[in-house]
Amino acid sequence: MYQNPNHRLLNQTCIVTGASSGIGKHVALAMGRDCANVVVNYISDPVTAEEVAHEIEVSDDIAKAMTFKADVSKEDQVQAMFKAAVERFGTVDILVANAGLQRDAPLHEMTLAQWQTVIDVNLTGQFLCAREALREFIRRGKRPDVSCALGKIIHMSSVHEVIPWAGHANYAASKGAIVMLMQSIAQEYAPIGVRANSIAPGAIQTPINRDAWATPEALEHLLKLIPYNRIGQPSDIGAAAVWLATDESDYINGTTLFVDGAMTCYPGFSTNG
């Protein structure tokens, strides 16, 4: 049976929101490979969430996994998820606030519902999960045998925390706000040992952006925005998330790690300007 010899997250528990598909799924799998216990949060697809949990348990005989259905934008459901995680695994050491969605529209046609849904899930959801994580870190206290930090919060942001995005203003606004949420948490809770950071993925091949890579023409168009000339894979984000959760990155606090193949390096200026 394959086991990661590093065991970097042994005896730690990680909640990954939106973990039944896409980036969240691969973050959950990667956490499990490094021996973390994983709570696989999902909202609509219990079957795929169970498959992720099963894959974690069969690929590593130490890591344990459970699934939990919760809408991250609902306070009571987030609280129930943390309670269930603590009951099953004793505590929570790592939160990956990943659940997110898009409801795209030109701004003059955007409905309040499209705006609100994106803000509720992408921003309020990350607030609610981070708040419960902080409460659990404080309740539990430091465990120097497992980590230097009191706890780790990883916000899933986007290159659109810095790249404006026409036709997606609700999404870009939600991700722009994540910067200040994350940095304010770091400033407020680093003194007691919390690490809060973000990952800003570029174009990662997942269902959320299928239109951007599903045809050769779309992919060719997309690659013009990616100097490294390949679309990202969810496993690229999984590897970054695990590293941000380990003590290898212990001095990294209050920052955003861009995992984007240089998408944020203004590729349009490579032959111009």
Q: Name the residues annotated as catalytic.
A: 171
Which is closer to ligand BGC, CB of 146 or CB of 212?
A: 212
Which of these segments, 70-78, 120-128, 146-154, 202-210, binds ligand BGC (CB under 6 A)? Answer: 202-210
Which of these segments, 31-39, 75-83, 106-114, 205-213, binds ligand BGC (CB under 6 A)? Answer: 205-213
Compose the 134-173 pattern: x for residues touching ligand BGC by CB under 6 A, - for all others.
------------------------xxx-------------
Interaction of residue 257 with ligand BGC, rule CB under 6 A = no
Work out how close the CB of 156 gets to ligand BGC at its nearest, in angstroms, rounded to a whole number. Answer: 9
What are the backbone dihedrals phi and psi of residue 30, each rounded to the nearest 5 degrees, phi first?
-65, -40
Which is closer to ligand BGC, CB of 85 or CB of 179?
A: 179
Which is closer to ligand BGC, CB of 93 or CB of 260?
A: 260
Residue type, 101: L
Tokens found for residue 29: 């799998």
Residue type, 253: N
Angle at 68 between CA 175 and CA 12, to 5 degrees: 80
Which of these segments, 25-33, 68-76, 127-135, 206-214, binds ligand BGC (CB under 6 A)? Answer: 206-214
By C-alpha distance, which of 98, 82, 249, 104 is closest to 172? 104
Q: What is the DSSP string of 15-37?
A: EETT-SSHHHHHHHHHHHHTT-E
- Return residues touching ligand BGC (CB under 6 A): 102, 158-160, 202-203, 208-209, 212
